[in-house]
Structure 1
Amino acid sequence: MSHAPPNPTLSPVIDRRLPYAQKLATRATSDIDLAVIHCTELPDLATAREFGERVHYDSGTGNSGHYYIDRDGRIERWVPEDHVAHHVRGWNTRSIGIELVHTGRWPDWYHSRRQVPTEPYPDVQIDALTALLRGLRESLPSLRWIAGHDDLDREQVAASDAPDQSVRRKIDPGPGFPWPRVVAASGLARLDPDSPLPFPAKSDE
């Protein structure tokens, strides 16, 4: 089924909750001040769904974002906003996770010579993202910041082809993501987790 979005320019969002969604911890939506942008680093939405349904924790839950946006602009909501999804370590309780279907480095995520994704983000997908963000700003008054997964998770892991080399565990949404366009259209400020000030806007440079 679908629910009417708060922003009239946003296409209907398909409500497709994960089987374990109700087992996730709850929160007040007034606690949400950050949107985290991811890319799936998987070939398609069906593969992302299969991964999202996998159980990884004793609570009977797994890893996923709240929203998924396909290449054609289709938006699905897998976890309601008042539940805490597992999508970015250390920031889950205050954030909304938005996943863009994108191949990223798939299927060789940690290969040392395959760390620069080449797939572009389609305009229709980015338009759907910015419309969703504007809608979320209306329904979540505390929402103020935006960040990429790579801004918040900077862990290095051993390269799969060269264990003596290190690569980023998470690089999404990647160097091809149009940050200036998304920040300008969404009205959110880019978060700088390294600043000594409380989450000032991050430069797009």
Structure 2
Amino acid sequence: MMNDLSPAWPIRHDRLPYEAKLDVREIAQIDLVVMHCTELPDLAMAREYGERVLYPAGTGNSGHYYIDRDGSVHCYVGPNFVAHHTRGYNLRAIGIELVNTGRYPDWYHSEHQNMNEPYTDMQVQAASALLLQLKTFLPNLQLIAGHEDLDTAEVDASNNPSCRVRRKCDPGPHFPWPRILSETGLTRLLPEAMA
């Protein structure tokens, strides 16, 4: 567990090519962190997906920070920019992605919905340390949620259109919520709390 005397966790700045095209926001607008998993096999593929241009402004979908299995933290988008990572929450949220296979490569196959890969201890340590660091310069940061908490939409299963599956299931059942909440002092934002 990181405390006030622990050194800052190193962050590698690997900004996406389109970062400057993203909307800029005031740091005071940020009160939420959304935890994700990449649902891809490695950081290189996550980077490739992040670099894809999907919008007319020349931007794509990406979190702000990516945590690889070895605990290395990579900043793809600075916190003062609005990244596209969680529908309806981007303006107020930081997105943190942990490299994890999730349901890859059959995300929407009805028989492939289990997320079996555990997070590494180094990833969890890095996530906790990063969250504590973010709290030091984001004055209104108090809340944390999983992508699965905020995006509860369902889609047709890829193998059976009569069956529905969750669009987003991350960070999934292996994410250590009790530990993260205890170590960071953040409050989990759940759908029933948003009514």
| Same-fold call, TM cutoff 0.5 | yes
Deviation, structure 1 residue 7: 8.1
Q: Which residue of 2 aligns with 1:77?
A: 75
Number of equivalent positions: 192
Question: Where has structure 1 moved over 4 Å in runs of 4 or more?
Answer: none
Code of the residue aligned with 1:47 in structure 2: it is M
Code of the residue aligned with 2:21 in structure 1: it is K
Q: Using a 3 Å threshold, how does the CA distance of structure 1 residues 90 and 196 change in structure 2: closer, same or farther?
A: closer
Distance 2:143 2:191 in 1: 11
- Computed over aligned residues only, the root mean square deviation of the Cα atoms, in angstroms, reads 1.3
What secondary structure, in the 3-state scheme, does the structure 2 residue paired with 1:118 have?
A: coil
Deviation, structure 1 residue 195: 2.4
Q: Which residue of 2 aligns with 1:170?
A: 168
Q: Which residue of 2 aligns with 1:3?
A: none
Code of the residue aligned with 1:115 in structure 2: it is Q
Contact 1:9 1:131 in 2 (8 A): no
Q: Using a 3 Å threshold, how does the CA distance of structure 1 residues 58 and 196 change in structure 2: closer, same or farther?
A: closer
Q: Using a 3 Å threshold, how does the CA distance of structure 1 residues 196 and 129 change in structure 2: closer, same or farther?
A: closer
List runs of 5+ in structure 1 lacking aligned partners: 1-5, 198-205
Deviation, structure 1 residue 196: 5.5
Q: What do the CA deviations read for 1:41-94 (whole angstroms, capped 9, x no partner)? A: 000000000000000000000000000000000000010110000000000000
Q: What do the CA deviations read for 1:138-184 (whole angstroms, capped 9, x no partner)? A: 11110000000000001100111111000000000001111111111
Question: What is the TM-score when the length of structure 2 is the normalising length?
Answer: 0.95
Distance 2:121 2:194 in 1: 35
Q: Using a 3 Å threshold, how does the CA distance of structure 1 residues 22 and 143 change in structure 2: closer, same or farther?
A: same
Q: Which residue of 2 aligns with 1:201?
A: none
| Identical positions, percent | 57
Distance 2:5 2:146 in 1: 23
Distance 1:73 1:109 in 2: 25
Q: Which residue of 1 aligns with 2:182?
A: 184
What secondary structure, in the 3-state scheme, does the structure 2 residue paired with 1:164 have?
A: strand
Question: What is the TM-score when the length of structure 1 is the normalising length?
Answer: 0.91
Distance 2:5 2:79 in 1: 16
